A and B are shown apart, each in its own frame.
Chain A
Amino acid sequence: MQKEKTVSSFTIPIGPQHPALKEPGHFLITVDGEIVTKTVVRLGYAHRGIERALEERNYVQCMYLLERICGICSHIHATAYCHAVEQLAGVEVPPRAQAIRLLVAELERIHSHFLWLGVAAHEAGFDTLFMYSWRDRETVMDLLENMTGNRVNYSANLLGGVKFDVDDALEGEILKGLEFLEERTHHYLDVVKTDIMFLQRTSGIGVMTRRQAEVLGAVGPTARASGVARDIRVEAPYGAYVEHPVNIILEQDGDLRARFIVRLRELFESYRLIREVLETLPAGELVGRVPRRIKASETVSRVEAPRGELFYFVKSNGSDKPERVKVRTPTICNMLSVIKLAVGHQLADIPMILTGIDPCFSCNDRSVQIRSGDNLQVLTWEQLRQFGA
C-alpha cells in the first residue's frame, strides 16, 4: 500500500469499501493530525450503463428499468419519466391517478427521511436512535406494501396513470399509520433539537452559508437548510401539486442540525398533504391511453425527489423506443458542497457531513461526456463494459 507522506499530511481513503458508506464512492481525504486539508472525490462505482440500456427497450420497459436506478427514490424516478413521456405523447393523466401518484410519492418521502435519520444517527454513533427510527419506518413500509404490493420498487405507475386504486379500508389504514408516525416524528424532532451530546456532533458543523449554497448549486433539503428556497413542488408544480400546494420549509443556520430539522419538519408537511389528498380524492378512472409509437420530439421534466431536484430529458424519434433519456439526480449537485465544506473540519465529522446531504451513490452515477478541445473520447458498448470490469 502506498503511503503518501509529505511534510505533515497524510491521506486517508474513505471508500470505496468503508463502513461509513452504504454504497461505493471514493473520498481521498488529506489530514493534518485530525484536521482535514483537502478532499478529492471519485465516483462511478455504481455505474450500470442504464442510460445506454434504455435505448434498446420500449417505453413501457424503460419505466421499470428507471425505477431501479435507486431503491429509496424509485417511484419519483418513474413519475418523472412518466411525466416526460406523457408530455411527448400529449396524453392527459386522469386526476385520480395524479392524486394517487402524489400519495405514493409523499409516502416515499416519509420513508426516505426516516431511513436517512437512522443512517445519520448511526454515523454519529447514536445507535439507539438508528434502531428506533428504522423500527418506525417499518410502519410506512407496511403501508406502502398494503397499497402497492411491494416495499421498495413499488411499480405503482403505468404510462398514463397508476395501476391500483385506494379504497376506504386502505384510507383508514393510512390515516392510522400517519397518526403513529406523527407522534414519533415529534419525539425525534425533540431529540434532534435538544439532546446535548447529539448537538455536540451536529451543531455548528458543516456550515454552508446561503451564498455558498447558491453558488455551489445545492438542491433539496441541503439547500433549504441554508435558507435557499428551492423546491420544485413550489416553483414548478407538477401533477396533483397544482391543486395541493406545498409550504416550503426553510432553516437559516445551514449546519448539520438545520439539515436534520428541515427533513423532520418536511415530514409534517407530508403528513398534512397526504391527509388533504385522501379527503379530496377525485373520482374517475385510473389510466389514460398512451400510444406505443411516440412522434419525434424532446422534453424535460423536473420533480422533487426526497433529496432534491430530479431532472429528466427524454427525446423520442417516432419509434417505440426512446432515442435518449438523460437523468440528472440531486446527489451529484450536492456532492460539490461536501468537498468544499469538509476542509477545516475534523476527520470524525467527515462521515457526518457526507451523510448530511443524504447521498445516494447509485443515483448519481450517470455518464458524462467531457469535451476538452478536439480530444473527444467516445466509448462503445464493449469498451464501456471493459472499463467497468
Chain B
Amino acid sequence: MDILRSFFAILIFPGGLCLLFVSLIYEWVDRKLLAQLQNRIGPRWFQPFADVIKLLAKEEVVPEGVDAGLFVGLPILALAGGLTAALYVPLFGLVPIYNFPGDLIVTLYLLSLLTLCMGLAGSNTLDRFSLVGATRTLTQLFSYEAPFLLALLGPAILTGSWQISDILAYTNSHWLLLTQPLGFLIAIIGLMGKLELPPFDAPEAETEIVAGALTEYSGRGLALFRLGKGVELLVGLTLIAAFYLGGVTNPVFFLLKTLLLLLIMVGVQSLMTRLRIDQTVGLWWRYGVLAVFVQWLGIIVLKGVLL
C-alpha cells in the first residue's frame, strides 16, 4: 500500500504528471503576462501544451559526430533531476512528499543538475553555436550559483537545520522577506539567472548564437529540456515563496504567492536589456556576492543577539 502511495505521489500527484501540467500553465502565465506588459495579446492557454505535444510528435534528429547515448540521455537526466527535486519541496501547498536531514542541499544540487546537463549537451555537439552556448551556460552557472545558494541557505542558518521541513516549520509563521530583504532579492534574481530569463539569457541569446546549447536539439529531446525548465521554474518559485513569503500552507496561498513572484519576475524581464556574459559575471561576483555576504553577516549578528 505504501509503495503504491509512493508511486502515485511521485508519478501522478503532486509530482510527475500533475507537476508537468501545472508547470506548463505557469509557462503560459509567464508568456501572457509578458505580452500584456508589451501591449500585445499573448498566446492562448493551451499554447505550451500544443508546443510540447508537437515537439514530442516530431522526429528527433541526432547530428553527426555526437555521442548518441549522451545526446539522447541528457534531456531525460535533466527532467529527472527536476522532477526529483520537486519531491522535497512543499508543492501546491502540501507537505513535502519526502524529507530527510540535508535535503535542502540535495534539492539545490538537483536543480543545478539541469543546467549542467544543458551545458554538457551543448559541448557534446560539433556545432559552433552549441559550443559557445555551452561555454556561456557553464560560465553563468559559476557566476550566479554561489549567491543563489547562499541566499537560499540564509533561512537554514537562521533555523539551524538543513532539512526543508524544519525550515518550513519556522518560515510558515515568519515572513523572512521583512528580516532578510537582501536574501530575497538575490534569491529571486538568481532564479532568473538559473532559468536563463532576460536579462540573463546570454547563454540562449537568439540573436547571437541561435539557441545556445540546445541548437541541435529537436523533437523529444527539446521537449524534455523545455519541460525540465518549466519544472525548475515551479520548484524555484515554491522554494522562494516557502522560505521568504511566509510559507505555502495551503493551495490558495501557494497560487497567490507563486503568481506574485512570477509577476515580479516578468516585470524585471520586460524592463531590462540582455547582459553580455562578461557583464553578467561581473555583476554577480561584485554585487551579488557582496549583498549576500552583508545579508549573512546580518543573520549571524542578529541570531547571536536575539536568539
Let me know if chains A and B touch directly in the complex, using CB atoms closer than 8 Å.
yes
Residues of B86-120 contacting chain A, CB below 8 A: none
CB nearest neighbor in B for A131: B38
The segment from A60-68, A235-243, A270-278, A346-354 that touches chain B is A346-354
Contact of B274 among A3, A20, A126, A350 (CB under 8 A): A126
Task: Flag B63-103 by CB within 8 Å of A: 1 or 0 each.
Answer: 01100000000000000000000000000000000000000
Residues of B255-303 contacting chain A, CB below 8 A: 270-279
Q: Kindly state the separation between the CA atoms of A13 and B37 in the bound complex, as whole angstroms.
A: 34
Assess whether A280 is interfacial by the CB under 8 Å rule.
no
Contact of A132 among B39, B131, B274 (CB under 8 A): B39
With a cutoff of 8 Å between Cβ atoms, the chain B residues found around residue A1 in the complex are 64-65, 126-127
Given contacts A125-B199, A131-B39, A348-B202, contact A200 B128 (CB under 8 A): no
- The number of residues on chain B lying at the interface, defined by a beta carbon within 8 Å of a beta carbon of chain A, is 32
CB nearest neighbor in B for A135: B39
Task: Flag A3-19 by CB within 8 Å of B: 1 or 0 each.
Answer: 10000001111000011
With a cutoff of 8 Å between Cβ atoms, the chain B residues found around residue A351 in the complex are 207-208
**Do residues B274 and A125 form an inter-chain contact, with CB atoms below 8 A?**
yes
Residues of B14-37 contacting chain A, CB below 8 A: 37
Assess whether A182 is interfacial by the CB under 8 Å rule.
no
CB nearest neighbor in A for B282: A200
Residues of A13-40 contacting chain B, CB below 8 A: 13, 18-20, 31, 34
**Do residues A19 and B38 form an inter-chain contact, with CB atoms below 8 A?**
no
**Do residues A197 and B199 form an inter-chain contact, with CB atoms below 8 A?**
yes
Total residue contacts A-B, CB cutoff 8 A = 80
**Do residues A10 and B276 form an inter-chain contact, with CB atoms below 8 A?**
no
**Do residues A12 and B38 form an inter-chain contact, with CB atoms below 8 A?**
no
Q: Kindly state the separation between the CA atoms of A13 and B206 in the bound complex, as whole angstroms.
A: 14
Task: Flag B137-172 by CB within 8 Å of A: 1 or 0 each.
Answer: 000000000000000000000000000000000000
Assess whether B9 is interfacial by the CB under 8 Å rule.
no
Assess whether B132 is interfacial by the CB under 8 Å rule.
yes
Assess whether A201 is interfacial by the CB under 8 Å rule.
yes
CB nearest neighbor in B for A12: B128
Contact of A19 among B199, B206, B270 (CB under 8 A): B206
**Do residues A346 and B198 form an inter-chain contact, with CB atoms below 8 A?**
no
Q: Kindly state the separation between the CA atoms of A27 and B218 in the bound complex, as whole angstroms.
A: 25
**Do residues B207 and A123 form an inter-chain contact, with CB atoms below 8 A?**
yes
Assess whether A382 is interfacial by the CB under 8 Å rule.
no
Assess whether B225 is interfacial by the CB under 8 Å rule.
no
CB nearest neighbor in A for B65: A1
Q: Kindly state the separation between the CA atoms of A201 and B272 in the bound complex, as whole angstroms.
A: 11
Given contacts A1-B126, A12-B128, A34-B278, contact A128 B207 (CB under 8 A): no
Which range holds the interface residue count of chain A? 20 to 34
Contact of B279 among A12, A121, A200 (CB under 8 A): A200
* Whole-angstrom distance between the Cβ of B7 and the nearest chain A Cβ: 43
Given contacts A19-B206, A132-B39, A347-B208, contact A125 B273 (CB under 8 A): yes
Task: Flag B197-221 by CB within 8 Å of A: 1 or 0 each.
Answer: 0110110011111100000000000
Q: Kindly state the separation between the CA atoms of A349 and B278 in the bound complex, as whole angstroms.
A: 12
**Do residues B37 and A128 form an inter-chain contact, with CB atoms below 8 A?**
yes
Q: Kindly state the separation between the CA atoms of A123 and B207 in the bound complex, as whole angstroms.
A: 6
Contact of B198 among A18, A31, A127, A348 (CB under 8 A): A127
With a cutoff of 8 Å between Cβ atoms, the chain B residues found around residue A13 in the complex are 128
Assess whether B5 is interfacial by the CB under 8 Å rule.
no
CB nearest neighbor in B for A29: B128
Q: Kindly state the separation between the CA atoms of A133 and B238 in the bound complex, as whole angstroms.
A: 36
**Do residues A19 and B207 form an inter-chain contact, with CB atoms below 8 A?**
yes
With a cutoff of 8 Å between Cβ atoms, the chain A residues found around residue B198 in the complex are 125, 127
**Do residues B276 and A201 form an inter-chain contact, with CB atoms below 8 A?**
yes
Most chain A CB within 10 A, of B207, B210, B272, is at: B207
Q: Kindly state the separation between the CA atoms of A219 and B199 in the bound complex, as whole angstroms.
A: 33
Residues of A186-234 contacting chain B, CB below 8 A: 195, 197-198, 200-201
Assess whether B129 is interfacial by the CB under 8 Å rule.
yes
Q: Kindly state the separation between the CA atoms of A350 and B198 in the bound complex, as whole angstroms.
A: 19
Q: Kindly state the separation between the CA atoms of A197 and B271 in the bound complex, as whole angstroms.
A: 10
**Do residues B210 and A200 form an inter-chain contact, with CB atoms below 8 A?**
no
CB nearest neighbor in A for B211: A19
Q: Kindly state the separation between the CA atoms of A357 and B208 in the bound complex, as whole angstroms.
A: 17
Q: Kindly state the separation between the CA atoms of A351 and B273 in the bound complex, as whole angstroms.
A: 14
* Whole-angstrom distance between the Cβ of A154 and the nearest chain B Cβ: 27
Assess whether A124 is interfacial by the CB under 8 Å rule.
yes
Assess whether A137 is interfacial by the CB under 8 Å rule.
no
Q: Kindly state the separation between the CA atoms of A98 and B275 in the bound complex, as whole angstroms.
A: 47
Q: Kindly state the separation between the CA atoms of A351 and B278 in the bound complex, as whole angstroms.
A: 17
* Whole-angstrom distance between the Cβ of A64 and the nearest chain B Cβ: 34
Q: Kindly state the separation between the CA atoms of A2 and B303 in the bound complex, as whole angstroms.
A: 60
Residues of A152-189 contacting chain B, CB below 8 A: none
Assess whether B44 is interfacial by the CB under 8 Å rule.
no
Assess whether A48 is interfacial by the CB under 8 Å rule.
no
Q: Kindly state the separation between the CA atoms of A347 and B129 in the bound complex, as whole angstroms.
A: 11
Given contacts A347-B208, A351-B208, contact A200 B278 (CB under 8 A): no
**Do residues B126 and A20 form an inter-chain contact, with CB atoms below 8 A?**
no
Q: Kindly state the separation between the CA atoms of A131 and B132 in the bound complex, as whole angstroms.
A: 28
Given contacts A3-B128, A13-B128, A348-B202, contact A125 B278 (CB under 8 A): no
**Do residues B271 and A128 form an inter-chain contact, with CB atoms below 8 A?**
yes
Q: Kindly state the separation between the CA atoms of A20 and B279 in the bound complex, as whole angstroms.
A: 21
**Do residues A197 and B38 form an inter-chain contact, with CB atoms below 8 A?**
no
Given contacts A135-B39, A347-B208, contact A10 B274 (CB under 8 A): no
Given contacts A1-B127, A19-B207, contact A348 B270 (CB under 8 A): no
Q: Kindly state the separation between the CA atoms of A210 and B131 in the bound complex, as whole angstroms.
A: 37
With a cutoff of 8 Å between Cβ atoms, the chain B residues found around residue A11 in the complex are 128
Contact of B273 among A19, A200, A346 (CB under 8 A): A200
With a cutoff of 8 Å between Cβ atoms, the chain A residues found around residue B279 in the complex are 200
CB nearest neighbor in B for A121: B273
**Pairs across A and B, CB under 8 Å, 7 listed:** A131-B40, A135-B39, A195-B273, A201-B274, A201-B276, A347-B132, A348-B276
8 smallest CB-CB distances across A and B, nearest first, come from A125-B274, A126-B273, A131-B38, A197-B273, A20-B207, A348-B276, A12-B128, A128-B270
A126-B272, A131-B39, A348-B208 given; name 8 further pairs at CB < 8 Å: A1-B64, A12-B132, A125-B205, A125-B275, A128-B37, A128-B38, A195-B273, A198-B273
